[in-house]
Amino acid sequence: MAFHILHTLKHGAELPSEVINYMYSSGAFMILKDFPEGHEFGIDYKSWTVGPKFMGLKMIPAGVHFVYCSVKGAPRIGFFHNFKAEEIVAKKWDKVKETFSDDAISDEEVNRIRANLKNIDSHLGPYPFENYRSWYALTDFVTGETVDRLIPLKGQISAQAELVSMETCLMENEEQVELNATVGCSNSVDREHPTRTRFVDQQG
């Protein structure tokens, strides 16, 4: 089916109705609960400023995709996911932390969502197939195993480095000093001999 979609898009044509119907029945769904209006939400190469009725995406082709969002004035955060055919991925928005909640959605809740898909269809945006050809070319050889192996411990990727507290820096510096003393090296800069390897020698 991916080949059929790519072949259609290659000629600049819109997806025929039979392909659209197939993608609705076999594609994946991304359901967002409590996502705030007016913030950015995107998948792969496409993002939107969402309205009050937005609840997620439908017709997502199977494979690896990058889902991301950004509240006003904040850097993007997101995650990679290897979507399966007919899969429903549900995420709840944490209003306090302004990020996706770490709480897992129960299988019972997912089954309720699946049974209610037709009722919320008007609140789900279609996957942006106009960008699918480029995304497919980028991720065709990326497997789900690769995503699982490289995913961060916290599961999310931020466009901005996490804040490191002064306490953490001091603790790491103390540990580094102890390690240097053990192996006989120094982090001190020798301004008189800037190119000298900084191991402890007779000159210190």
93-125 pLDDT per residue, tens: 998 888 888 788 899 999 999 999 999 999 999
Q: Which amino acid is at 58?
A: K
Tens of pLDDT along 158-174? 877 665 555 556 666 66
**Residue finishing a domain among 122, 140, 158:** 158
Angle at which helix 17-26 crosses helix 2-10, to 10 degrees, equals 140
pLDDT at 6: 64
Residue with the bigger pLDDT between 81 and 157: it is 81
Q: How many CB atoms lie within 10 A of CB 36?
A: 16
pLDDT digits (tens, 9 = 90+) for 23-60: 899 999 999 999 999 999 999 999 999 999 999 999 99
What residues make up the domain containing 193? 163-204
Q: What is the pLDDT of residue 173?
A: 66
Whether 146 and 182 map to the same domain: the answer is no
CATH number of the CATH domain containing 115: 2.60.34.20
Whether residues 71 and 134 fall in one domain: yes
> Are 110 and 201 in a shared domain?
no
* 184, pLDDT greater than 60: no
On whether both 78 and 133 belong to a single domain, the answer is: yes
Share of the chain above pLDDT 70, in %: 72
User: pTM of the full predicted structure?
Assistant: 0.73
Torsion over CA of 77, 83, 87 and 90, rounded to 10 degrees? -10
Same domain, yes or no: 10 and 76: yes
Q: Are residues 18 and 118 in the same domain?
A: yes
Can you name the residues that pair with 80 across neighbouring β-strands?
66
Of 9, 116, 107, nearest to 56 by C-alpha is 116
Split into its structural domains, the chain has a count of 2
Same domain as 60, residue 105: yes
Regarding whether 101 and 11 lie in a shared domain, the answer is: yes
What is the spatial distance between Cα 92 and Cα 61, in angstroms, rounded to a whole number?
A: 22
| 110 Cα distance to chain centroid | 20
Looking at the fold, whether 171 and 116 belong to one and the same domain comes out as no
pLDDT at 108: 94
